[in-house]
Chains A and B, each alone.
Chain A
Amino acid sequence: MMITVTVNGQAHTRDVEPRMLLVHFLRDELRLTGTHWGCDTSNCGVCVVHLDGTPVKSCSVLAVMADGHEVTTVEGLERDGELDTVQKGFVECHGLQCGFCTPGMMLTARWLLDRDPDPSEAEIREAISGQLCRCTGYENIVRSVRWAAESEAAS
């Protein structure tokens, strides 16, 4: 079935089987491997992307369901060669170690800050509560998001 999905602002048309999951469409068809693929059971959140501006777990969305819709992946966070503030926060505050959870964490963080520019630590933890990190113990992820919030408030 022919579908057209706008990913990071660019329309992509492909012929896919209805059973193809959005995560595999992004990784295998478009070679956008920044979206990771982990538990495959909608629990870990490494596959989070924005669908029409809202974070969803792309291992549990069919690519055909995204036909005619807009997807943003981690590759779409930077603008004109400049990292998004959230990405800078992860750099500044050592928000990652292995990096497996990071794309999903950053996309959820971006969405959170767009809705609430000054989230508390508890609100940040709640927002990422469906996403697992095996490395950082979450402390530095929370710090990274706070760094981004403060940096955006200051600018």
Chain B
Amino acid sequence: MQVPARFEYERASSVGHALMLLERLGPEARVVAGGHSLIPMMKLRLAQPEALVDINDLAELSHLAVEGDELVVGALVRHARLLADAEAGRLFPILHDAERVIADPVVRNRGTVGGSLCQADPSEDLSAAFSALRATAVIQGPGGARTVPIREFHTGPYETAVEPGELLTELRVPIRPGSGSAYQKVERRVGDWPVAAAGAVLVIHDGVIAEAGIGLTAVGAAHFAAPEAEESLIGQVPGEEAYARAGALAAAHCEPQSDQRGPADYKRHLVGELVRRALARAAERAGRGGLR
């Protein structure tokens, strides 16, 4: 039987209260959202926080709405809710593509968007999706709120820009007219973490690629991004040739490790192929009118 080590439990009633609790309980306290990464780690004693601050009651972190030219996703939005939200799926099909293959429906009922990003597992799917989308993270601390571009959010495996005593409150995703997006993942079995996965966002203006975002996960890509592949696409006419070149660049610049999910060269091969497919799908969606 797996049982976590002893800890103190507090339930926060507002963001301010959560920050106060975190300050009082000190650096060994952790936030618990869905708990579906943290509690399994505590059961295995891979994590032994002295205290947990439960943020599940914070309705103020559960918003999911368009504000101006951004989609704002509260940190406590559950996977299932993001997947069920028609507007989010219309604006950013990449988010629905990714959510559909994250874990299983029951886990998705509980796990949160913020928890996924803060867990910063090197195989997290949403990290790649938000990296492709060039989202912005909003972090709240005792001194107020600050924003961090998603590509500066992850500071290493299981490490983020969220300092002890701070909360991730929301993600802001810029809405780009003329864009299309997609996510492609290969997993060993339904609901598993990716062997490799790639997300793509394309903005096409007057028949050429004006902006490109490519996110990668599980393959050792710094900041879950593929900047060389993105650059190669700018100014190009959308088409198989450009996608294949971008895929090859992404594959060349990531650093997959061999593990129980597969050998490194296979993962590298997958990156090339998944980037190519995600780009083709994103372009097709942009072409179908894409966003407005």
List A residues at the B interface (Cβ < 8 Å).
Answer: 1, 17-19, 21, 40-42, 45, 48, 54-57, 60-62, 64-65, 67, 108, 126-127, 129-131
**Distance to closest chain B CB from A101 (angstroms):** 13
A1 to B6, CA, bound (A): 12
**Distance to closest chain B CB from A26 (angstroms):** 15
The answer to whether B287 has its CB under 8 Å from any CB of chain A is no
- How does the 8 Å CB contact mask read for B52-86 relative to A, with 1 for contact and 0 for none? 10101000000000000000000000000000000
Across the interface, which residues of B come within 8 angstroms of A45, CB to CB? 104, 106
The answer to whether B155 has its CB under 8 Å from any CB of chain A is no
A41 to B37, CA, bound (A): 10
Evaluate contact between B1 and A130: CB separation under 8 angstroms: no
- How does the 8 Å CB contact mask read for B1-19 relative to A, with 1 for contact and 0 for none? 1111111110100000000
The residue from B7, B40, B104 contacting A18, defined by CB atoms under 8 A apart: B7
The answer to whether B105 has its CB under 8 Å from any CB of chain A is yes
19 contacts between A and B (CB under 8 A): A18-B9, A19-B6, A19-B7, A42-B36, A45-B104, A55-B109, A56-B106, A60-B39, A60-B110, A62-B35, A62-B52, A64-B9, A67-B11, A108-B105, A129-B190, A130-B104, A130-B106, A130-B107, A131-B106
The 3 closest A-B pairs by CB, nearest first: A130-B104, A18-B9, A19-B4
The closest CB in chain A to the CB of B54 belongs to A65
The answer to whether B288 has its CB under 8 Å from any CB of chain A is no
A55 to B103, CA, bound (A): 14
Across the interface, which residues of A come within 8 angstroms of B11, CB to CB? 64, 67
A116 to B1, CA, bound (A): 36
Across the interface, which residues of B come within 8 angstroms of A17, CB to CB? 6
Evaluate contact between B8 and A108: CB separation under 8 angstroms: no
The residue from A1, A54, A126 contacting B9, defined by CB atoms under 8 A apart: A1
Evaluate contact between B104 and A40: CB separation under 8 angstroms: no
A19, A41, A60: residue with the most chain B Cβ atoms closer than 10 Å: A60
**Distance to closest chain B CB from A5 (angstroms):** 14
The residue from A61, A127, A130 contacting B39, defined by CB atoms under 8 A apart: A61
A21 to B36, CA, bound (A): 12
Evaluate contact between B35 and A61: CB separation under 8 angstroms: yes
Evaluate contact between A61 and B106: CB separation under 8 angstroms: no
Across the interface, which residues of B come within 8 angstroms of A41, CB to CB? 2, 40, 43
Evaluate contact between B56 and A65: CB separation under 8 angstroms: yes
Across the interface, which residues of A come within 8 angstroms of B40, CB to CB? 41-42, 60
Evaluate contact between A62 and B103: CB separation under 8 angstroms: no
**Distance to closest chain A CB from B25 (angstroms):** 13
A17 to B4, CA, bound (A): 11
The residue from A18, A19, A48, A67 contacting B106, defined by CB atoms under 8 A apart: A48
